């Protein structure tokens, strides 16, 4: 379990460092073109998220998102698959701490004051609807891939979905409570004002429940694959392969 928590911490930290760091770089490189800033920010996020899922997925499943972890528990609790309630709490703490560290790390790399919270206001019912849509689609995609045996495609598919959602949602698709909290700690293009955070998180929870309801409807036996979210991962260490020496002792 400690390796899984470290993987979730590091994965979420680097993910937020990618999101915030590329946002800062985009703001500096293209100060007068917001569209180009978003293109630069989203492109870095697509590649960064894909790589992080490939790197940490075999250890923890590469959730990096409390909504995904909670959905995994909700789906698998009756079947005895997926995370336990205690696991979800531990994952969420690791993910949130990682997100904060990632934002601070990005600030340090770009020589930005680490003590200043974001002042970027993100309020409005349209943004909350966008977060519901973005999160519901993310949860539905992840569990549909697991149920249909296509977990190997999760890294590029999830990366592509988030990249697309940067553009088709007005909120630029945070879709993650831990990342939302982390992005409070950077007063930059990628930041979010603390007053906007509760609404975003509430919308993400609603979106997660809607995405969960959709996959339960489409795939009634979805609980059987809760252990394979986001990608299949080992929760115990497999036995080492037999050698000639071990066989000879039998």
Report the CATH number that the domain containing residue 173 is assigned in CATH. 1.20.1080.10
The answer to whether residue 170 sits within a structural domain is: yes
Per-residue confidence (pLDDT) for residue 100, from 0 to 100? 97
Please tell me the distance from the alpha carbon of residue 77 to that of residue 1, in angstroms, as a whole number.
18
Q: How far apart are the first and last CA of the chain?
A: 33
The answer to whether residue 236 sits within a structural domain is: no
Per-residue confidence (pLDDT) for residue 227, from 0 to 100? 75
The answer to whether residue 174 sits within a structural domain is: yes
- The domain tally of the chain equals 1
The answer to whether residue 238 sits within a structural domain is: no
The answer to whether residue 143 sits within a structural domain is: yes
The answer to whether residue 79 sits within a structural domain is: yes
Please tell me the distance from the alpha carbon of residue 72 to that of residue 235, in angstroms, as a whole number.
14
- pLDDT averaged per 10 residues in sequence order, the chain, 250 residues: 96 98 95 95 97 95 95 83 90 98 96 91 97 97 92 94 97 97 93 97 98 94 80 56 47
The answer to whether residue 159 sits within a structural domain is: yes
Per-residue confidence (pLDDT) for residue 82, from 0 to 100? 79
Question: H helices of the chain, where?
Answer: 2-29, 34-60, 66-76, 85-109, 125-147, 154-168, 177-182, 197-218, 244-248
103: containing domain? 2-225
Please tell me the distance from the alpha carbon of residue 48 to that of residue 11, in angstroms, as a whole number.
10
Per-residue confidence (pLDDT) for residue 238, from 0 to 100? 44
Handedness of CA 20, 22, 24, 30 (dihedral sign): negative
């Amino acid at each position: 379990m400690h390796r899984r928590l470290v993987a979730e911490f590091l994965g979420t930290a680097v993910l937020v460092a990618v999101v915030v760091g590329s946002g800062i770089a985009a703001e500096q490189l293209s100060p007068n073109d917001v569209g180009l800033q978003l293109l630069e920010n989203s492109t870095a996020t697509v590649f960064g998220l894909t790589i992080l899922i490939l790197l940490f997925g075999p250890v923890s499943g590469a959730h990096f998102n409390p909504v995904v972890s909670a959905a995994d528990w909700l789906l698998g609790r009756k079947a005895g698959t997926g995370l336990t309630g205690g696991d979800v709490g531990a994952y969420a703490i690791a993910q949130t701490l990682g997100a904060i560290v990632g934002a601070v790390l990005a600030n340090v790399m770009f020589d930005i004051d680490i003590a200043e919270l974001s002042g970027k206001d993100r309020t409005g019912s349209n943004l909350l609807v966008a977060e519901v849509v973005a999160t519901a689609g993310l949860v539905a995609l992840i569990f549909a891939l697991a149920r249909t045996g296509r977990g190997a495609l999760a890294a590029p598919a999830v990366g592509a979905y988030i990249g697309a959602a940067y553009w088709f949602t007005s909120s630029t698709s945070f879709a993650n409570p831990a990342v939302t909290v982390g992005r409070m700690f950077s007063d930059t293009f990628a930041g979010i004002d603390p007053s906007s955070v509760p609404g975003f998180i509430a919308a993400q929870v609603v979106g997660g429940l809607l995405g969960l309801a959709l996959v339960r409807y489409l795939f009634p036996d979805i609980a059987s694959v809760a252990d394979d979210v986001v990608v299949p991962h080992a929760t115990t260490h497999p036995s080492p392969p037999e050698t000639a020496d071990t066989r000879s002792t039998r």
